[in-house]
Amino acid sequence: MPLKNDLLLRTINGEKTERTPVWLMRQAGRILPEYRAVRNSLSGFKELVETPELAAEVTIQPVDILGVDAAIIFSDILVIPEAMGLQYEMVEKRGPHFPETIKSAADIKKLKVAEASDVQYTIDAIKVTKKELDGRVPLIGFAGAPWTIFAYMIEGGGSKTFSKARAMLYTEPELSHQLLQMITTSTINYLKGQVEAGADLVQIFDSWAGILSPTQYEKFSLPYIKQICDAISEVPKTVFAKDAYFARGWFGNINCNTVGLDWCMDIAESRALVGENKTLQGNLDPCVLYGSEASIKEATESMLKQFGPTRHIANLGHGVYPDTDPGKVKFFVDMVKELSANR
C-alpha cells in the first residue's frame, strides 16, 4: 500500500522535502486522555500491550489527535526477555519488575532464543494498525538494544546505577556475551517479524547506554547493535542511545540510517561525528513543553535552524513526560510543520 505521507522515509533517504517530519517518542500513551480511557478499562499495562486491537487503537491516537508524521507501535521493550522465558510485571507507579533474575549459567540455560511468534500479539497489533492506518503515515516498529535488555534481566527492574548488571560484565564476561548474543538473536527474529507484518522502519532503543564506560560500551553493546542493523536489511533502522555521547562517531560507521540524539547532545558536534550521510533525529528537551507557547516556538525554531532543512526528523530528546499538556505537544508538532515549511 503506497503511503499518503512518506515524508519520514524520504527524509531518511536524504531527499529534499517540503518540510521537516515530526513524531515523538512515547507519543502512544500517557499524555492523551483518550489513551487513559482505554488503559483504565483494563487490568493493567500488559493487557493493553497483549491485546492487538487495543494496542492498534492507542498507536493510531497520536496520528489523529496530534497530527504526527509517523505512528510507533504500542508495545514494550521487555516483551523480549519474557519471550525468552523471563517473566516481568509492570508495577503501577514503580515500573518493570522481574520476580526472577539472571545470576548464573544455570539461569541462562533456562532461557531460549525467542522467535517472532513468541511475541505474536505485537506482530498482530502491527497487522491491525497497518490496515487501520490505511497508508496515512509510516508505522515504526521497535525493540530494546541488547545491553538495555540485559541490564533489566540481571538487575530485576529499573535502577540508577544498574550495578549488578555492570558488575556481571566484569565478573562474568563470557557469560555476559552468551546472554547478550541470545538477546540479539531473539531481537533480530522479533524485528524481522515486525517488518514482515508491515513495519516501515524500526528503532533500537538503548535506554541505558550512558551508564557504561566507552570501553565497556564498545565491547558489550555496540557489536550487538551492529549485528541487528546488519541483519535487518528490508527497512531503514534508527539507533537511539541515550547519554552515549562517546558512541556517536561509532554510530556513523554502522549500518543504520538514522541516529537519535538526546537533548544534551550538541547538534553541530553530533553532525560532525555522525557524518553527512545519515539522518539525525531529535532533540528538543521534553521539559520545553512545560513552558509557554512563545518559549516552545522559540526553542523549536532554534532546533530546526541548528539541524537544517535536510536529514532531520524532529522529535524530543527522550520520551514525552506523562504530565505534559497534550495541547502543548500539539503546539510543538504544529510549530515544526509551520516553521520548517517557511524556510
For the record, the C-alpha cell of 70 comes out as 509517523
SS3 string of 313-343? Answer: EEEECCCCCCCCCHHHHHHHHHHHHHHHHCC
**What is the structure's pLDDT at 33?**
96
Helix and strand totals (H; E) in the chain: 16, 9
Q: What is the pLDDT of residues 195-236, one digit of tens each?
A: 999 999 999 999 999 999 999 999 999 999 999 999 999 999
Task: Exactly one of 30, 107, 290, 334 is catalytic; name it.
Answer: 30
CB atoms within 10 A of CB 267: 18
- Asked if residue 342 has pLDDT above 80, the reply is no
- Percent share of the chain, pLDDT over 90: 97
Task: Exactly one of 10, 36, 39, 136 is catalytic; name it.
Answer: 39
- Asked if residue 116 has pLDDT above 90, the reply is yes
Beta strands 312-316; 258-260: pairing state: unpaired
Mean pLDDT of the chain: 97
For the chain, strand residue ranges (E) read 71-72, 89-91, 95-97, 139-144, 201-206, 237-241, 258-260, 279-284, 312-316
**What is the structure's pLDDT at 93?**
75
For residue 92, what pLDDT band results from cuts at 50, 70 and 90? confident
**What is the structure's pLDDT at 30?**
85
- Asked if residue 32 has pLDDT above 80, the reply is yes
Q: What does the alpha-carbon distance between residue 147 and residue 208 come to, in Å, rounded to a whole number?
A: 8
**Averaged pLDDT, 3-25:** 97
Is 190 a known active-site residue? Answer: no
Q: What is the pLDDT of residues 39-86, one digit of tens each?
A: 999 999 999 999 999 999 999 999 999 999 999 999 999 999 999 999
Residue 143 backbone phi and psi in degrees, to 5: -155, 160
* Nearest residue to 226 (alpha-carbon basis) of 246, 199, 206: 206
Is 94 a known active-site residue? Answer: no
**Averaged pLDDT, 129-134:** 98
Task: Exactly one of 26, 36, 266, 290 is catalytic; name it.
Answer: 26
- Percent share of the chain, pLDDT over 70: 99
Q: Which amino acid is at 101?
A: T
Task: Exactly one of 76, 200, 206, 262 is catalytic; name it.
Answer: 76
**What is the structure's pLDDT at 185?**
98
Task: Exactly one of 69, 88, 118, 152 is catalytic; name it.
Answer: 152
Point out which residues pair with 232 in neighbouring strands. Answer: none
**What is the structure's pLDDT at 104?**
97
**What is the structure's pLDDT at 228?**
98
What's the alpha-carbon Rg for the chain, to the nearest Å? 19
Is 39 a known active-site residue? Answer: yes
Is 30 a known active-site residue? Answer: yes
Q: 197 near 121, Cβ under 8 Å?
A: no
Is 152 a known active-site residue? Answer: yes
Q: What is the pLDDT of residues 270-303, one digit of tens each?
A: 999 999 999 999 999 999 999 999 999 999 999 9
Peptide bond into 253 cis (omega under 30): no
For residue 338, what pLDDT band results from cuts at 50, 70 and 90? very high
**What is the structure's pLDDT at 4?**
97
Q: 58 near 38, Cβ under 8 Å?
A: yes
- Asked if residue 94 has pLDDT above 90, the reply is no
Residue 183 backbone phi and psi in degrees, to 5: -65, -45
Q: What does the alpha-carbon distance between residue 250 and residue 134 come to, in Å, rounded to a whole number?
A: 37
Q: What is the pLDDT of residues 232-276, one digit of tens each?
A: 999 999 999 999 999 999 999 999 999 999 999 999 999 999 999
Residue 319 backbone phi and psi in degrees, to 5: -70, 150
| Cα 142 versus chain centre, distance | 6
- Asked if residue 156 has pLDDT above 90, the reply is yes
**What is the structure's pLDDT at 165?**
98
* Nearest residue to 179 (alpha-carbon basis) of 161, 155, 213: 155
**What is the structure's pLDDT at 242?**
98
